[in-house]
Structure 1
Amino acid sequence: MSLLLSFPRQRIPAVFFVCFIALTALGLSASAAVRADGKNAEWQLRKSEDGIDVYTRSVEGSELQEFRAEMVLATRLQSLVALVEDSSAAPRWIYQCRALELIEQNSPTDKLFYMVTDAPWPVSDRDSVFRSLLIQDETSGAITIEMEANADAFPVVEEFLRIRQMHGFWQFIPQDDGMVEVIYQVHAEPGGGIPAWLANRVVVDNPYETLRNMRNLVQETVYRQAVLGHIHEMAQLNDN
C-alpha cells in the first residue's frame, strides 16, 4: 500500500498548525532560561496551566510567531525518545497530525520524515518533509532532537500545500532530582495565507496540547520500559 493511501481521510475538527515531531536546538543552555537571542523580540508567556508553560515571540521578517513550551516530567530519557521516534503513534499526541512516516534513515540519530497536518475548512491541509538529527551531550545527558524543513526531498502531493520553511527542536534535560525538563520550540511558514485569529490561537494550542498528550502517552508500558541503544540515562553516563 502506498504511503498516501494509508492516510485516514477524515478531518480533525479543531484548530490547525504544523504538527512537528522532534526537533532543533540551536545553542540553548541546559538551564533552558527563556530569553531573547538578540535578533527577535522577548518571549511572552501566553499560557501557564497544568504544569505546562507556553511562550511566543515575534520573528524578524515573519508574520507568524515562534512558540516554545516547557514542562517537567517524572520519566526516562529513553521513554521520551522512544515516543518521539514512534512515527505510528504521532497522530495520538502531536496536535493535528494526520500521519507521520519515516522515509529515510541514515542512522539511528539521522532521519527524514514526511508528515501530513489536518486543517479546518476552508484552510488547505499541509504536508511537510523534514530531517531530524538527535544529539546527546556526554556530560549533562541532555538530548536535543533538531529539525529542519527539507521540502524538496519528497515528491509534491497535489492534495496538500507543502510547508517549505520550518525549524524547531525537542530538548530533554535531566534534572538533579531525577525529573526531566521537556522543551518544544518551533517556527514555521505554512504558506497559503493563514487568518490572523487562527495563527494567534494555534501557536498556543499546538504546543500546549502536544505536551499534554506526550505526558500521558509516555507513561504507557511500551515507552516506559523502552530500551534504546543510542540513548544513555544519567546513571549510565555517571558510571563511565
Structure 2
Amino acid sequence: MKYYILLLMTILLSSTSVSASEWELEKYDEDNDIKVYTRLKPNSDSEFKEFKGVTHIKSRVTPFVALLDNAELACEWMHNCVKFEFVGETSATQKTSYSINKAPWPVTDRDLVVYSETIQDKDNYAVTISLSSAFDKVANDDDYIRVKELDGTWTFTPMDNGVVEVSYQLFLDPAGNLPSMLAASTVVDTPYYTLLNLREIIAKPELQSQQLTYISEPPAN
C-alpha cells in the first residue's frame, strides 16, 4: 500500500513540474542588452507561448509610465502597432485601451481591448502595470479578429546607478487561424522590437521631464 501511495505522489509531482514550464532564452542581443524568454503558460492548455523581454535602461521610473500613458506615441515604439487609443479611464492608474496590430498578408490583423492598472511598490519603488483583456468593452469590427485571451505585465524596477530594469511579460492567444511559424516568431519579435524601440524613444526630453503625482522616484544614492 505504501508503495502505491509513493508511486502516486511521484506521478503527481512529475506532472506538476511538467505543467510549470520553465522560461527558455530565445534571443539575446548583447549590444542592446535585450533578452527574450518564452514558455508554455503554466496551468493553461494553450499551444501558444508566453513571452518575457528584459532590458536595462538608464532613466528615472516616471518616464516609462508616462510613455505607456501616451497614446500619440504608442505606435512609434510598440511592435506592429497600427492604431492605439484610450477608450476608458476609471482613474489615472486604471485605463482601457483599444489597439490594432498588423499581421503579415494574408493573415487578418488583430484588434485588442486591454484594461491596465498601475501600482507602485512603496518599498522598492518598482512600478507594475498589469494588463488584462477587456474584449467586450468595444464593439467588434468585422475587419479584424478580436483577441479575447490576454494577460501580462510591464514592470519597471529601479536599480543602482540610476538604471531601471524593464520587464515586459505577456500571454496572448491570437484567435483565428495563425500559421505555427508566424506564431513562433511573433512571441520573440514582439518583445524584442518593442524593447529595442523603447530604448530609443524613452530618451525623448518630453518624457524625461515628466512628473506624475502617483509615481515616486527612489531617493538619490
Fold conserved between structures, TM > 0.5: yes
Higher strand proportion, which one?
2
Tell me which residue corresponds to 2:189. Answer: 205
Identity, in percent, stands at 36
Tell me the SS of whatever aligns to 1:177.
helix
Tell me which residue corresponds to 2:124. Answer: 140
Q: Does residue 172 of structure 2 align to residue 188 of structure 1?
A: yes
What is the distance in 2 between the residues matched to 1:152 and 1:172?
A: 29
Say whether the 8 Å CA contact 1:65–1:187 is kept in structure 2.
yes
Tell me which residue corresponds to 1:4. Answer: none
Q: Does residue 35 of structure 2 align to residue 53 of structure 1?
A: yes
Q: Which has the larger radius of gyration?
A: 2
Per-residue CA deviation, residues 136-186 of structure 1 (Å, 9 max, x unaligned), is: 001110000000001101111111110000001100001133210000000
Q: Does residue 77 of structure 2 align to residue 96 of structure 1?
A: no
Tell me which residue corresponds to 1:77. Answer: 61
**1:81-160 alignment to 2 at 5 Å?**
81-160=65-144
Tell me which residue corresponds to 1:28. Answer: none
Aligned residues: 202
Higher helix proportion, which one?
2
TM-score calculated relative to the size of structure 1: 0.81
Tell me which residue corresponds to 1:40. Answer: 20
TM-score calculated relative to the size of structure 2: 0.88
Structure 1: stretches of 5+ with no match in the other structure: 1-35
Q: C-alpha displacement at 1:235, in angstroms? A: 2.0
- TM superposition outliers: structure 1 runs of 4+ over 3 Å: 36-39
Structure 2: stretches of 5+ with no match in the other structure: 1-15
State the superposition RMSD in angstroms: 1.7
Q: C-alpha displacement at 1:84, in angstroms? A: 1.0
Counterparts in 2 of 1:79 and 1:111: CA distance versus 1, 3 Å: same
Counterparts in 2 of 1:145 and 1:39: CA distance versus 1, 3 Å: farther
What is the distance in 1 between the residues matched to 2:198 and 2:162?
A: 18
Tell me which residue corresponds to 1:226. Answer: 210
Q: Does residue 146 of structure 2 align to residue 162 of structure 1?
A: yes
Aligned-partner residue type, residue 75 of structure 1? S
